[in-house]
Amino acid sequence: MNEVTTRTVRVELGARSYDILIGEGLIAGAGTAIAARLPGLRAAIVTDETVAALYLEPLRASLRAAGIEATPIVLPPGETTKSFSHLQTAVEAVIAARLERGDAVIALGGGVIGDLAGFVAGIVRRGMRFIQVPTTLLAQVDSSVGGKTGINSPQGKNLVGVFHQPSLVLADTQVLDSLPPREFAAGYAEVVKYGLIDRPDFFEWLERHRAGIFAGQAARAEAIAESCRAKAEVVADDEREEGRRALLNLGHTFGHALEKAVRYDPARLVHGEGVAIGMAMAHRFSVRLGLCSGQDAGRVARHLEAAGLPTRLGEVPGPGFTVAELMGAIRQDKKVSRERLTFILTRGIGEAFIAKDVEPAGLEAFLADEIAGR
């Protein structure tokens, strides 16, 4: 592990504070980093078949070298793995390995594996240690940080889960070189989100450095670190999403509805693409409500499009959407309170806010226009 080039972001949560390490070669140095913080540990590594073929053995070798015994649990790849059946598989494997409360579940993979493995760690023996080793850009800048864990229900995304903070996050930027371009772009949507919430200067920086981030230049690690700083600040202020943390869902209400509508089919839509469309829609909806300028909404869409991301419903391949199916999914969103629709809207770039009690009729009319491509 190259300590010189490793960036550290601290998530301040009192006794449950932890570090996010960002840099090249962190999987190779994982055993050293973990043993220094959590001596005497045993672990289970939850991963998927795709990631296992690339990084499971290097991680196990690093852990063995540090004296850490680790049991691998390999699941199928894809969003459908976030299910009750695969949760049970992982839970039973951790118990069968005779791991104790002071031992750890290590998530090696993207957001799906991180969410499911964190849920396992949160419920086995009423809570085990949890370590994130995210292998996608989306997971490194978003889902690995903050303690949200869970699985999907047939009725909606991320409806079953617990808050369970990791003890350590190791974001190895070197593994991002193996990502397909589409998956890297999908993760970039979550990077853009932080600029659009309350960091307009960061959004401007992204406009200047997007090409370098995609090319793997020094800007990539800085973009990841700044995204983690942004999320760490929000999580420290509102760990359980009782207020400000809901802002991190910018674009997600629309995005999650689209994911449910396509039945989580990655051939049609992956999470980051849904978020990109959702953020563009949130800005256009804000324009419709007289909150945001069309100029800002256009600027957001152009930046996402330049990154190779969709911004319109018509760009999702396959059958079109209906207002009824999207509204049905939106009404199941976690932010709905006493059946009142809650959205993250904006007054401009970097000026997102929580809008409660959004009027359904106006939303339905907006969705109809979006579906029609107007």
Residue 242 marked as a ligand binder = no
- Start-to-end CA distance of the chain, whole Å, equals 51
Residue 164 marked as a ligand binder = no
The fold for domain 7-177 equals: Rossmann fold (3.40.50)
The fold for domain 181-372 equals: Dehydroquinate synthase-like, alpha domain (1.20.1090)
Section 32-50 average pLDDT: 97
Residue 201 marked as a ligand binder = no
pLDDT digits (tens, 9 = 90+) for 249-275: 999 999 999 999 999 999 999 999 999
pLDDT digits (tens, 9 = 90+) for 96-106: 999 999 999 99
Section 80-103 average pLDDT: 97
| Count of CA atoms in the C-beta half-sphere (13 A) of 12 | 6
pLDDT for the residue numbered 336: 55
3-state secondary structure of 138: helix
| Count of CA atoms in the C-beta half-sphere (13 A) of 75 | 30
> Residues near 309 by Cβ (< 8 Å), separated by ≥ 6?
185, 186, 188, 189, 272, 273, 276
Could you give the CA distance from residue 89 to residue 44 in angstroms, rounded to a whole number? 13
Residue 82 marked as a ligand binder = no
C-alpha separations of 271 from 64, 72, 275, 337 in Å: 34, 26, 6, 24
Any idea where the domains of the chain sit in the sequence? 7-177, 181-372
pLDDT exceeds 80 at position 165: yes
pLDDT for the residue numbered 155: 86
pLDDT for the residue numbered 2: 44
Q: Which residues does the annotation mark as catalytic?
A: 126, 148, 190, 231, 241, 245, 249, 252, 256, 271
Say if CB 147 and CB 114 are below 8 A apart. no
Residue 135 marked as a ligand binder = yes
Q: What are the tokens at 111? A: 């957001």
Residue 79 marked as a ligand binder = no
Section 123-127 average pLDDT: 97
> Residues near 235 by Cβ (< 8 Å), separated by ≥ 6?
11, 13, 145, 146, 147, 245
